[in-house]
Amino acid sequence: MNGAVPTTIIVVGLALAGYALLTTARNRRVGLGLLIVIGLLEILLLVLVGLIAARLAGGGRPASMVMLVGYLIAMPLVPVVAGFWGAMERSRWGPAVYAVAGLAAAVLMVRLHEIWAVIHV
């Protein structure tokens, strides 16, 4: 696997964080633009889960299988939970939740690379 998907996730995650913080600074609530970006992040994370599952099926084994499975479950949940939690808020603090989700996705990619270096970042 080349590192295209994890790298794209980091870029989209950081872009989401920047866009969301700008929205918070402008005192706006969650709008369509933020929903589209967090949706894109979710799709990319699901693609990555699929790629890792394919690699596991192909016989690859990480150093810590338990941790990798934990990441595979937790990663796609982050944008979904944050998406609903932030959209429920009718103030500038909703986008701030989206910023946390974007940063978390980027950090998860770095940690994932530490668990299984075969996924190049």
Partner 1 sequence: MSEPGASPETAASSETAASPESTAPPESTKTGPGRLLVAVYGLFALSACARAGTQIATEFSRAPVAYVLSAFAGVVYIIATVTLVNGGRTARRIAVLSCSVELAGVLAVGTWSVLDPASFPDATVWSTYGVGYGFVPLVLPVFGLLWLRRWSARAKTGRTVAVSTGNAVGAAHDGEDGSRAGTPTVDSRRGSGL
What DSSP letter does each residue of 68-118 carry, written as one string?
HHHHHHHHHHHHHHHHHHHHT--STHHHHHHHHHHHHHHHHHHHHHHH-TT
What mask, x for binding partner 1 by CB under 8 A, covers residues 69 to 98? Answer: -x---x---x--xx--xx-xx-xxxx-xx-
What mask, x for binding partner 1 by CB under 8 A, covers residues 31 to 70? Answer: ---------------------------------x-xx--x
d(CA 44, CA 82): 16
* 13 scored as a contact of partner 1 (CB under 8 A): no
DSSP character for 61?
-
Footprint of partner 1 on this chain (CB under 8 A)?
27, 64, 66-67, 70, 74, 78, 81-82, 85-86, 88-89, 91-94, 96-97, 100-101, 104
